Structure 1
Amino acid sequence: LVELLSSPDVRDQTQEHAVTTLLNLSINHSNKGTIVNAGAIPDILDVLKHGSMEARENAAATLFSLSVVDENKVATGTGGGPIPALIKLLCEGTPRVKKDAATVIFNLSIYQGNKARAVRAGIVEPPMRSLKDAGGGMVDEALAILAILASYQQGKAIGQAEPFKKLNWQLTKWPFLQWEDDILVITVF
């Protein structure tokens, strides 16, 4: 199955079907380690970077599923650098893939070493842009990413960004449930 991820012809949908199958298998917790140990992560990352949009969406969802296990956060976050590809999806994907990409970035950033990778890859700006577009449906995800990066010293650069000033204004506009992350981000920065 892992070999099918590197199918050269994305038009035949082999990659898409293979990564979708891995996604479905990864939902079962006992399969997560098997998938990682089979060496699937580099090929999933390749699909994430170069596959069709549908395959990239499923690759992001697969990475999220695999990264739920703490031991997999390091392997998933380092091998081949998924974070820049996830940031690209966060900026240009469909609404569903944007949410998946944000969730993977958040989940990978729980591991301290991945916070540094995310900041170096440029993760600060996309969530800040999402704060400007409250109707885009990504405010919760943006705040979650900013909140997790708040514990990383270089992530504190978020406080210097222009859109950060909008957080104070947004406090009066967002529903109460979003205030928790908003206040956390403001307090830390």
Structure 2
Amino acid sequence: MGIEDGATHCHLATATLDADTDASPSSSSSVVTQTLTLLRSDDLSLRLQAAKEIRRLTKTSQRYRRYFSAAVGPLVDMLSCQSAEANEAALAALLNLAVKDEINKIKIIEAGALKPIIGFLQCESLALQEHAAAALITLSASSVNKRVISASGAIPLLVEILRHGSSQAKYDAVMALYNLSTYPDNLGQILQTEPIPPLVDLLKSCKRSSKTAEKCTALIESLVGFEEGRMALTSEDGGILAVVEVLEGGSPQSREHAVGALLTMCESDRSRYREPILKEGVIPGLLELTVQGTPKSQSKAQMLLRLLRDTPDPRSDLQPDTIENIVSNIISQIEGEDQIGKAKQMLAEMVQVSMEQSLRHLQKRALVCTPADIPINSCASEVPSK
């Protein structure tokens, strides 16, 4: 489904939370009927008023999103008005109608909304650009719409916004691109637009723990599944380092995508990508992930550590194939006192954490069945008295 579309339109839905979600069915029906009548008026000011009312009522109410499904067509028609205010009001109303409503998402596309939305992505108005990109986030959350949106030419325009858009538009663009990337056939089209440089730039400028960083690294992880993507990331100044920094300080999900991206690169061609990855000081972050990451992160970090050591085949090592020995092997091969010192410190801390975890596990096992819990007649091994 892509990202949770209910949380992506906060910068559009700024109306007050006074929708009458507890209204009776009869009063709700009356409000819907009156609002739809205004929406179909020849007076643009009345249509604008109706669009704003629909936006307000559908902001938090799933029931009103269903009631106002009939408003999709007239709202899409408003997108062609020669009024920026009307365009923005209609987009905001359509966006609220689409949130968490699969039927409305599909209906909006079928009603012809894509053509004007694509036009807004190219217009000079930053506000309309942002509104259009935000609308595509929610609409692209529908699996049915992903192929249609990519076929409309949206992908190159979204990547162009990544390069030159406002901060908000860049955020919306990367979210929409991530949604579209979950449809496998779209990945090749995204790759053709050379998205790695703007993705790396955005990754460098945003907070490592942000949702933006998470979606950037998720996109990069998908794109490095192709040789063009791997070469682009390696060629981009600070590209691998940006991923390593997310691996060290990102959210759990971001770190999982970051280590996944580096693992994909190393698995594809260890001889080519081992040194560029090692050079960026990835070892401390990987060590931390092996004990503190998500289950997927831990597994991927361990696999990457094995690939990064001088001899990747564990059977060729004289020492046991433990993380400690793998890391010791890597440390002996890398250069730079700072990196070696930090890696050794992290290794010592990792061993300490592992010991503490093992001790806690043993303590828990010891507490499972205490002597007070054991019935007297269950002591079959008791030595009989003479």
* TM-score normalized by the length of structure 1: 0.84
Report how far residue 173 of structure 1 moved.
Answer: 4.3
Q: For the residues of structure 1 that align with 2:96 and 2:159, how far apart are their CA atoms?
A: 23
Inter-CA distance 76–174: structure 2 relative to 1 (3 Å threshold): same
Report how far residue 4 of structure 1 moved.
Answer: 2.1
Q: For the residues of structure 2 that align with 1:147 and 1:60, how far apart are their CA atoms?
A: 22
Report if the CA contact (8 A) 1:90-1:98 is conserved: yes
Question: In the alignment, what sits opposite 1:24?
Answer: 96
After superposition, where does 1:77-92 map in structure 2 within 5 Å? Answer: 77-79=150-152, 81-92=153-164
Report how far residue 118 of structure 1 moved.
Answer: 1.3
When you count helix as a share of all residues, which structure comes out higher? 1
Inter-CA distance 23–176: structure 2 relative to 1 (3 Å threshold): closer
Question: In the alignment, what sits opposite 1:43?
Answer: 116
What residue ranges of structure 1 are gaps of 5+ in the alignment? none
Question: In the alignment, what sits opposite 1:179?
Answer: 255
Report how far residue 127 of structure 1 moved.
Answer: 1.1
Report how far residue 104 of structure 1 moved.
Answer: 0.4
Q: Which amino acid aligns with 1:105?
A: L
| Count of residues in correspondence between the two structures | 186
Q: CA RMSD in A?
A: 2.4
Report if the CA contact (8 A) 1:23-1:59 is conserved: no
Q: Which amino acid aligns with 1:64?
A: I
Report if the CA contact (8 A) 1:2-1:40 is conserved: yes
State the SS of the aligned residue for 1:50.
Answer: coil
Q: For the residues of structure 1 that align with 2:190 and 2:241, how far apart are their CA atoms?
A: 22
Residue 93 in structure 1 maps to residue 168 in structure 2: no
- Of 160, 163, 178, 1:106 maps to 178
After superposition, where does 1:1-189 map in structure 2 within 5 Å? Answer: 1-10=75-84, 13-27=85-99, 28-50=101-123, 52-79=125-152, 81-135=153-207, 138-162=212-236, 163-167=238-242, 169-170=244-245, 173-175=248-250, 177=252, 178-189=254-265
State the SS of the aligned residue for 1:39.
Answer: coil
Q: For the residues of structure 2 that align with 1:169 and 1:151, how far apart are their CA atoms?
A: 17
Q: For the residues of structure 2 that align with 1:169 and 1:70, how far apart are their CA atoms?
A: 31
Moved over 6 A (4+): none
Q: Which amino acid aligns with 2:215?
A: E
State the SS of the aligned residue for 1:7.
Answer: coil
| Fraction of identical pairs, as percent | 27
Report how far residue 23 of structure 1 moved.
Answer: 1.0
Report how far residue 83 of structure 1 moved.
Answer: 1.6
What residue ranges of structure 2 are gaps of 5+ in the alignment? 1-74, 266-386
Bigger Cα Rg: 2
Q: For the residues of structure 2 that align with 1:182 and 1:118, how far apart are their CA atoms?
A: 19
Q: Which amino acid aligns with 1:3?
A: D
Report how far residue 132 of structure 1 moved.
Answer: 3.1
Structure number with the bigger relative contact order (C-alpha 8 A, sep ≥ 6) is 1
Inter-CA distance 51–18: structure 2 relative to 1 (3 Å threshold): farther
State the SS of the aligned residue for 1:8.
Answer: coil
* TM-score normalized by the length of structure 2: 0.44
Q: For the residues of structure 1 that align with 2:142 and 2:246, how far apart are their CA atoms?
A: 34
